[in-house]
Every structure is written in C-alpha cells, then in structure tokens.
Amino acid sequence: MQHNVYFDGNVQSLTLTKGNDRATVGVIKPGRYTFSTTSEETMSVISGHLKAKLPDSADWRTYREGEHFVVPAGQSFDVETDVDSAYLCVYR
C-alpha cells in the first residue's frame, strides 16, 4: 500500500496493487485540479460529487455518488468540487 499526496495535500489517496491490477481510493478537498493519465482510468465517485471536464468534451459534467467516468491513457482531465469528495480509481 502506498500513500500519495498531491496539490499541497488537497488530494490524497492510497494505492492498492494485486497482481497486475491497481487501484486508488482517495479524498479530494474543494478546488479545481488537473490530472494526467498513463493508463486508462475509471474514476467512481464514492461520496460527494465531482465536476469533470474530460479530454473529449468542451463541457463540464457533474458526477455524483455511484457514478463514474473513464479517461483514456495519455490524456489530461480536470476535476472540480466544492465539498470533500471521495473516489475510487481503477487502472487498466
């Protein structure tokens, strides 16, 4: 298990690895953040909500608890929230 800290501590996660499978579970404090991918990511909202601007869209969309979005490998995407939010990210 690995603890990851980004954006001056405003985004933190734990990485879990089992065989070739990798996932992170984390918390995002209110703010706007840009992330980059090295592999395909499926990001699920566990608590709170995230607005995301994905690479193939000019628009922001809000994702709530139980919803997810997929970001292709080698892309950047933006997320924004105004409440503490939790997520699960699975890497392919």
Q: What's the CATH code of the domain at 13?
A: 2.60.120.10
- The rounded Cα 44 to chain-centroid distance in angstroms is 7
How confident is the model at residue 19, as a pLDDT?
81
**Domain count of the chain?**
1
Give pTM, 2 decimals.
Answer: 0.91
Are the C-beta atoms of 28 and 87 separated by less than 8 Å?
yes
Mean pLDDT value of segment 81-92: 96
Tell me how far CA of residue 91 lies from CA of 8, 40, 59, 81, 82, in angstroms: 24, 6, 24, 22, 25
pLDDT digits (tens, 9 = 90+) for 4-63: 999 999 999 999 997 888 999 999 999 999 999 999 999 999 999 999 999 989 999 999
Domain that holds residue 84: 2-91
How confident is the model at residue 52, as a pLDDT?
98
